[in-house]
Amino acid sequence: MVKKIYIAGKVRNELEREFLEKIEEICKDLGFKTFLPHREVGLARGIEDVEKIFEGDIKVGFKDVNIVVAVLDGFHVGAGTAWELGYAYAKGIPAIGIKTDENPEEGLEYLSAILLASMPIVRTIDELKKKLKNLV
């Protein structure tokens, strides 16, 4: 059975979306199915989009998900990303974080003890590939 990966992360600018798409490509190359919220459902352009985003990202997107890969870069983790990680944890879905902009051990103030303790966090794309290969 092919495992499905939900790819979580900030989507507000083109660079953030491009990095998520790079992760998706790596996952697909390793044989995983993927769910990439901004591509599959779209972006919330206004308050009128929130129901569509929640329905598509969570109710549909999390269906049959086996793993979450979450981008944790930036000064703070995105609110949606943090929510998705908590939801995955509550459902017993393992997650892998990737934080390329600083050492996770130095990011306690920005990541929180809860995020740090809830999943392995890698620093590079190569480390992420290795973690994912072990799951294939």
Q: What is the pLDDT of residues 79-115, one digit of tens each?
A: 999 999 999 999 999 999 999 988 887 777 778 888 8
Cβ atoms of 8 and 71 closer than 8 Å:
yes
Q: pLDDT tens for residues 41-52?
A: 888 888 998 999
The pair of structure tokens assigned to 74 is 């930036």
Domains in the chain and their CATH numbers? 4-133 (3.40.50.450)
Query: What's the chain's Rg over C-alpha atoms?
Result: 14
Q: Sign of dihedral through CA atoms 63, 67, 73, 74?
A: positive
pLDDT at 75 over 90: no
The confidence score (pLDDT) of residue 25 equals 97
pLDDT, residue 106, reads 77
pTM, to two decimals:
0.92
Write the CA distances from 52 to 38, 43, 87, integer angstroms.
Answer: 12, 9, 18
